[in-house]
Structure 1
């Protein structure tokens, strides 16, 4: 297949592109390479896919490389670009679109709300419009566990009410699900939303807890631990997330048209809630250092606990993430030490 992966220089998008190429598919990666975090990390991800920084820098210019014997193309483009995005769809004729591009981060949305509307709402509308008009067979897109907001049912199920988000980021992701439902209903566009649960692993984002904690402990600096450490997360290893994404991207959609089930949403999580203090302990074990902790109140927009129920993913795709935190943290820290020469 020919598959568009947006956010291809991002954490999950990079790993998804790599796995799709390894499975023999043609991938076109799109990313705007913004400065939300160090762009050099994004350029270095692309470098492992054969695209140099010089090739990736020009706007609206397609660069090509060969990975695992398959063609990988990259274009630097904003999802908000209503002029050039349709031209890309018209030229490439994608079979599947995997929309992983978004302005991420719960806390950042408190200070920069406009960015979330531009990328996550306007940008996603453009993806929907292009998918509709250029005969995309399946649109797969990233949602988030944050949509559960003030939901008190544990574990979180896709059948739960998600009308009480507590951050604009969460509200934007819930909006994506509503927009996708509308396009599935009106235009017979198969759409699948994926609610990711606290993704971590090699090449991860520097604003995420594992990266922040590892960096600070390595430098003998204190770490900020919110809600006085009384947090639990369904930490999900990136390879497990990407395996689920790719299975769904490559899944059949014809049966869904026959069954009139064009709109789907799945949780992708480890189906396990890990205490934050246990997570920190595993980092300490791998680094051979104790963390100095600043115990602080819970941050606005944060929830105390997440836990994914993945019954639908098992039923429809015979798949459930299962990498233990111990193994995943070890893999991340090995990457971190190598990448930063620690």
Structure 2
């Protein structure tokens, strides 16, 4: 069941009076605060914002001005960064499965850091990005995350030496180890366990004469939707303690926050377009749905929803506007008895919403406004 007593900022409410819905309102001050909070919690780490989270140009410009680096996976993301003036020294690519034309473009632009997890990827990098610094993706447990990411990517520690040695033979520079604990991970112990596994791989490589210089601890840092989550400070404390003494003091630590920077900065504003009662359930239909912005609701993300007026709460099944019956945002939300035309505000919607959205059924992708 979803309940939410949070208030919506008045500048967002005022924007809703003059803008066509659905739209996404982003507060740049929240992004700045989250970045600085992260910097203070992990002073030893180099930060690379995961561009896939929300690739709006003004978000890139905001983070660039703060000194952030960026992680990209495609030529389009790379081109965005270059057009924003991001130097290639502040760009990495941690997708271990890359399109050849992207590798060529990134290397040609001066990007030097690339992830891999297979012999085929080594061959692509050796041919298209010779001499680049490469880091091996380990498979780690994702049991405490909302969105597991380890099935598709990563290798076990036993493959570490073979792959790093092969990379060196192909004139690449074995630079480090990376992992990802999964998106929206709610337990700092997941990073601790992954760091311990990385230490095993690191030591195996060192015994074979491979001197690594970087550990990339990925992203996955959680934000608040309808339930409380551990703070960045709490998770960072666990990470910092796990790193202490486990690795040489002069190694580089990379970290790739995405959701943690922009998620809570965004509010999706929608309009009620229909109501119905079906089999004893109250249905509320919005002009935004799974296909044009709320794709993560499929994977279990429960968005907090708020009306701009008070009233006795009712339980609703909330659905989107498309003619696909799969387009159900949530099966149980508490909201007042709203009328057609009234607004519903969806909090913590700055991450993985507009970037996932499509024009399925002809419905628009939400515009983004900055407040």
TM-score by length of 1: 0.36
Which structure shows the bigger proportion of residues in helix conformation? 1
Structure with larger Rg: 2
TM-score by length of 2: 0.33
Bigger RCO (CA 8 Å, 6+ sep):
2
Which structure shows the bigger proportion of residues in strand conformation? 2
